[in-house]
Amino acid sequence: MKFPRLPHLRTVKFAPVAIFFLFLFTNFTGFYLSPALAPARTITRDDFIPLDIPQSGDCDLDLIIFREAERRGVDPRLVHAVIRQESRYDPKALSHAGAKGLMQLMPATGKQFDCTDLSDQACNVKAGTKYLAWLLKRFNGDVKLALAGYNAGAGAVDKYQGVPPYPETENYVKKIIANYGKTYHPVLPPEDAKIAFGLTTTTVLAE
């Protein structure tokens, strides 16, 4: 007795070919399970540093500067400008007066702002940024006066009621202002400063 041949079984021999073309289609088009089709979520990157922030050539140092500036409500661009002028990013820099490290702090100043090891990059940047934040607050965001205070001491700025007439200090202030590009720095709480200085961002990624 003969059984009728089932028509749909004739297509079985074409299954490997169909699977092969399906494989090509999904791999070359990226259609199947494409990330573009997945639901999106928004995350904040903790290691984000805006592209317009200067770079030292040391990624770890750049992150230290950025995070300390963020914590103190200071524009990291200004911190970079100060470090560039003070030490050219040399953590071993030592002045004839005894100022040490990246932000060229005197031992007494370092101690005042909780740093006893000025050769430690993170400690030096932390103390220097705290000092800069203190000066900006003291002089109501006037960058010229804050920088003059950083170089010659806040007392000298008070004495002359402005940038002291010392050639070194005048040149120091002029160079950093030219590099930083601003003469006013708003004194804000850290969270508000992040927004004011464009230090936050969000990135959209697929689940």
Give 22-74 pLDDT, tens digit per residue: 555 545 444 444 444 444 444 445 678 999 999 999 999 999 999 999 999 99
pLDDT at 202 (0 to 100)? 47
The pLDDT tens digits of the residues spanning 134-159 come to 999 999 999 999 999 999 999 999 99
Cα 90 from chain centroid (whole Å): 19
If pLDDT is split at 50, 70 and 90, which confidence band does 163 have? very high
What is the model's pTM? Answer: 0.75
Q: What mean pLDDT do residues 157-164 have? A: 98
Average pLDDT over residues 65-93: 97
Annotated active-site residue in 86, 168, 170, 191:
86
In this prediction, residue 9 carries a pLDDT of 44
Q: What is the pLDDT of residues 175-187, one digit of tens each?
A: 999 999 999 999 9
187 and 136 in contact (C-beta within 8 Å)?
yes
pLDDT at position 33: 43
Active site residue 86: yes
Q: Alpha-carbon distance 76 to 80, whole Å?
A: 6
At 200 the pLDDT is 82
In this structure, what token pair is assigned to residue 49?
Answer: 């540093």
Domains by residue range for the chain, with CATH = 7-38 (no CATH), 59-196 (1.10.530.10)
